[in-house]
Amino acid sequence: MAAENQVPAEARALLYRQIRTELLAHERGELAEVYPVLSSFNATRDIAAAHHQQAQSLEPAIAACDQIELASPEWGAAFGHLLALVEQHVEEEEDHFFPKAQEVIDEERSKELLKRYEAAKLEAKSQLQS
Per-residue pLDDT reduced to its tens digit, 37-73:
999 999 999 999 999 888 889 989 999 999 999 888 8
Q: How far apart are CA 90 and CA 119, in angstroms?
A: 20
d(CA 7, CA 27): 27
pLDDT of residue 5: 54
Distance CA 49, CA 32 (A): 14
Ranges of residues in the chain whose predicted pLDDT is under 70: 1-5
Q: What is the pTM of this model?
A: 0.86
CA-to-CA distance for 62 and 81, rounded, in angstroms?
A: 9
Cα 72 from chain centre: 24
26 membership: H or E segment, kind and range? helix 9-29
Closest CA to 97 of 56, 51, 33, 36: 51
Cβ(1)–Cβ(76) under 8 Å?
Answer: yes
